[in-house]
Chain A
């Protein structure tokens, strides 16, 4: 995965915010960024943690075991869903960003800002709260352009198109062999991951 991330060019910069005080404002964060040295592995670590928070292991393996971090790195490197498009500074809280900031810089920045400290070193329950807060905000009206929607979309795609997500968490049958137009379905029935029309229009 490291190789893929490196190829994708997403490991180049990171934001160093460890050991910071709570209640940061954007200016504080950028001050830290300016002082901090980039950490090559930071985005990798962040991707893994965020994938795990979005789709954790339950009675089936979650996003990390399904290899979603590697897919996410590949997707961002190649710009799936516009994820490597030039990044508007206005998308950052406070409206400022380094010239070459990417979508993962944004994520790191916003999570650190919300956590009031380095998100990755925050306790797990705080990480859940912070990411839930970011997620809720991104899905309110007016935030349709939130970069989080792009990232979560890629995580969802990565998981449900993986063998684990498509065929263990959900059901997968490439050759159904028949069409049943009306069958009972209950809360314990898993959906079919390859209902292609529903995947496209649903």
Chain B
């Protein structure tokens, strides 16, 4: 039977854009379905060039609006008056949490999804990470190792453009990078001090998907550091700047927006998915699209949500859920301020321009055979050094001409290290369909049931001590160090629920990101993650997506799906 398309890609964010690009470039006719509004690259970045005094609330935003419409989103530090149009309206898009739990789910429903608002940090996972579940028994063993993904990391980095420094570290594999952004004067000093005292530790510039060299019609970064408003220079990777134009150039892409996928439809005779049922959120119109393969790229939790509500006689508990594990083992990263320190040094030195990345101190704990501390796996630090700005005037005494004159100069140096600790995969941390609550269209809400565990708290406690020790060694005076994780979701690295694994009885997707149960459905966003590592995960999602696209097209050509 003929199908409307060769492939349907559900979602247009970081991985949806990649799936659309790879599949269309391999000759497939692709439908990409985005639930949110269309955002045109450049012309729709309406706040991009605004100065604070041109904004009704000076960039701070209207707390009354935020309380009514953005109760969760507005807790995110990337959410401002400039960027509020790139985040979801919480009132119109509710979710629930299990009793006694909290979860901040930060979302961007729009063409480009969170590729417009992401933090752009781009790190490879290592074999420490891919081997961790097998080694310590948490979760299920990843069915792949670094060697499987390395060529696809190469492929992705070459295309999106990542600037960074190769360091030869086992915990953070090297990549294919544009020239690194520069460490500032205090960061250089801290690097020397830390590496002298702890030779196994490294301070390096953040590897970021911001260009330092022009690339295929995209400009080099202008050092504005207002990326989340949208960048008409195309200087950071987003769907709009990068994968969407590539997919559109093939002539093989059909893009629809304002259309939410309600279910992936299953044909019990062929034991394959045969399309998706969609709802136009503007008109309320429902219809079906058919295709030979489906790529699930709705964002980790929404991919789970769609699969959970895709119920049929064959899959009463959700498509591809014969294991009963769909929605389980969700993760985030446990994150908090490791340490903040003030510095008396370098008072006659400063920086100019806004570098859109910080520094990273990659994982140094529990590598190889050595076990340090009372926790498994590890954490890394991200942060940087800066000279205080006018905002210090809010917390300093003084009024009058002297106060004003003091704030005229750059303030003291301070350095911040933020901890990101690995979140262990646990069966009890899970998603389910809310048993009672429904959305405006009658669909059951997604319910999040997540808490950080003792291992995460122990890792953050160790991290707080180590961050304080390192900043002290660099000559700083530590003024703050925290060791309790933020509410779940705070790292905006929510992932898991359709974890990859060898065994269909204990995992949801296989080594090629196919649903074990329905091999023409590929889950290649964060839902497929079997462990979280402690790195920012988006680059891994992209590599998994590109790899799965390659496999999908081969299998299609061989007539195997």
Chain A residues packing against B (C-beta within 8 Å) = 53-56, 58, 62, 71, 74-75, 78-80, 128, 131-132, 135-136, 138-139, 149, 152-153, 156-158, 160-163, 165-167, 169-170, 172, 174-187, 189-202
Contact = CB atoms under 8 A, between A and B. Distances in A.
A40 B53 CA distance: 28
Contacts of B187: 181
B403 A162 contact: no
Interface in B322-364: 348-355, 358
A7 to B, nearest CB: 12
B184 A181 contact: yes
A152 B394 contact: yes
A55 B404 contact: yes
B57 A78 contact: yes
B560 interface: no
Interface in B401-435: 401, 403-405, 407-411, 414, 416
A176 B223 contact: yes
A103 to B, nearest CB: 14
B287 to A, nearest CB: 42
Contact of A58 (B349, B355, B405): B405
17 contacts: A80-B60, A80-B63, A170-B408, A175-B224, A179-B223, A179-B354, A180-B353, A181-B184, A184-B349, A185-B410, A190-B408, A191-B409, A192-B352, A192-B389, A197-B384, A202-B388, A202-B411
A74 B225 CA distance: 28
Interface size class, chain B: 35 or more
Residue among A138, A166, A179, A187 with the highest chain B CB neighbour number at 10 A: A179
Interface in B49-103: 49, 51-53, 57-60, 62-64, 77
Nearest to A186: B348
A177 B222 contact: yes
A8 B60 CA distance: 17
B394 A135 contact: no
A183 B226 contact: no
Contacts of B477: none
A180 to B, nearest CB: 4
B353 A178 contact: yes
Contact of A172 (B51, B57, B63, B401): B51
A183 B351 contact: yes
Interface of B: 49, 51-53, 57-60, 62-64, 77, 181-185, 187-188, 222-226, 348-355, 358, 384, 386-401, 403-405, 407-411, 414, 416
B401 A58 contact: yes
A169 B408 contact: yes
A202 B389 contact: yes
A30 to B, nearest CB: 27
Contacts of B352: 176, 178-180, 183, 192
Contacts of B63: 78-80
B410 A153 contact: no
B222 A176 contact: yes
Contacts of A53: 399-400
Given A177-B222, A179-B181, A153 B399 contact: no
Contacts of A163: 51, 53
A74 B408 contact: no
A78 to B, nearest CB: 5
A186 B410 CA distance: 9
B50 to A, nearest CB: 9
Contacts of A189: 350, 409-410
A169 B188 CA distance: 31
Contacts of A174: 49, 51, 224, 226
B390 A191 contact: yes
B355 to A, nearest CB: 5
A195 to B, nearest CB: 5
A158 B58 contact: yes
Given A177-B353, A191-B390, A166 B395 contact: no
B224 to A, nearest CB: 6
B399 A185 contact: no
Nearest to B226: A196
B384 A156 contact: no
B349 A185 contact: yes
Nearest to A198: B389
Contact of B409 (A54, A62, A190, A195): A190
B517 to A, nearest CB: 46
B275 to A, nearest CB: 45
A137 B407 CA distance: 20
Given A161-B59, A198-B387, A183 B224 contact: no
Contacts of A149: 394-395
Nearest to A152: B394
B222 A197 contact: no
B37 to A, nearest CB: 26
A62 B403 CA distance: 12
Contact of B348 (A75, A135, A184, A193): A184
A19 B410 CA distance: 44
B421 to A, nearest CB: 20
Residue among A149, A189, A199 with the highest chain B CB neighbour number at 10 A: A199
A182 B392 contact: no
B185 A187 contact: no
Given A58-B405, A162-B58, A174-B49, 18 more contacts: A75-B57, A80-B57, A136-B397, A156-B393, A161-B60, A166-B51, A166-B53, A175-B224, A176-B224, A177-B353, A179-B353, A192-B352, A192-B410, A197-B355, A198-B391, A201-B414, A202-B386, A202-B411
